[in-house]
Amino acid sequence: MVLLPAHQRLLDDDVEEDLTDHQIHDMLQDASQRIQQDRGTAVSSPDTPLQLPKLNPGHITDAIITTKGSITQLHASNLVDQRDRSLANSIRKIEDPIAVKSKRQEDKKATAGSDWFNLPRTELTPELRRDLQLLKMRNVLDPKRHYKKSDSKSDVPAYSQVGTIIEGPTEYYNSRIANKDRKRTLVEEVLAQEESSGKFKKKYDDILKSKSSGKKAFYKALQAKRRKGKVVKP
């Protein structure tokens, strides 16, 4: 049951003719809307669409696609990251993958590995070659000492490094080598020792003397055999 205001009250004596059900429904609906408007609330009509208030979500990240009216635009600047864009616009060096792979393999073979203290590949120089040959003939330098025979077929190792022995501060002065007596290579040290001792020169003279006397004695014996007729000339 709906109550009507006093100024909208309908009196039976004012109505000259009967109202239809449709008219009564419209009148009741109008009265209900006026009552709701007086209360400060909006009433939705089945004939009018429902309208919701717009919300303010705050700042939203710039969208890639924007629509203005009936036109939709795509912002190409937001498709690629700024760092990737700067790399794409910069100058890029093109490298051959085969050359890069071979260089990587060469760098890997440049040292003997961490198990061998990263020894570098041997850089063969004339001085190093002479020192390696001298090490191979070390039994000649000291005949009284026996060294293990090397099984390596090559005189030059694949990886090697030349170092210098530095005396400790606790060593006595007479166990050190004076700076004027220090040499750069093993060959120079051996030659310097030979000049002071003369051991190899003396040994060479003895060998030469024995060979010379042997040849002369053999020649004399051959001449004696010929005189006796035991040796016939061809």
125 domain-assigned: yes
* Domain assignment of residue 118, given as a range: 109-163
pTM check: above 0.75: no
Task: Please indicate, yes or no, whether residues 159 and 182 belong to a single structural domain of this protein.
Answer: no
Cα angle vertex 185, ends 162, 168, to 5°?
Answer: 65
Name the domain boundary from 120, 140, 163.
Answer: 163
Please provide the DSSP assignment of 215-228 as one string: HHHHHHHHHHHHHH
User: What percent helix, strand, coil does the chain show, rounded to 5?
Assistant: 45, 5, 45
Q: What is the pLDDT of residues 143-199, one digit of tens each?
A: 788 888 777 777 788 899 988 888 888 888 777 878 888 888 888 888 888 888 888
So what's the pLDDT on residue 98? Answer: 92
So what's the pLDDT on residue 180? Answer: 82
Number of domains in the chain: 3
Task: Please indicate, yes or no, whether residues 116 and 152 belong to a single structural domain of this protein.
Answer: yes
162: which residues sit within 8 A by CB, 6+ positions away?
A: 128, 131
Q: What is the pLDDT of residues 184-224, one digit of tens each?
A: 888 888 888 888 888 888 888 887 767 666 566 667 777 78
124 domain-assigned: yes
Distance between CA 63 and CA 230 in Å, rounded? Answer: 122
48 domain-assigned: no
| Higher pLDDT pick, 216 / 110 | 110
Task: Please indicate, yes or no, whether residues 190 and 152 belong to a single structural domain of this protein.
Answer: no
192 domain-assigned: yes
Q: What is the pLDDT of residues 57-83, one digit of tens each?
A: 776 666 677 788 788 877 777 777 888
15 domain-assigned: yes
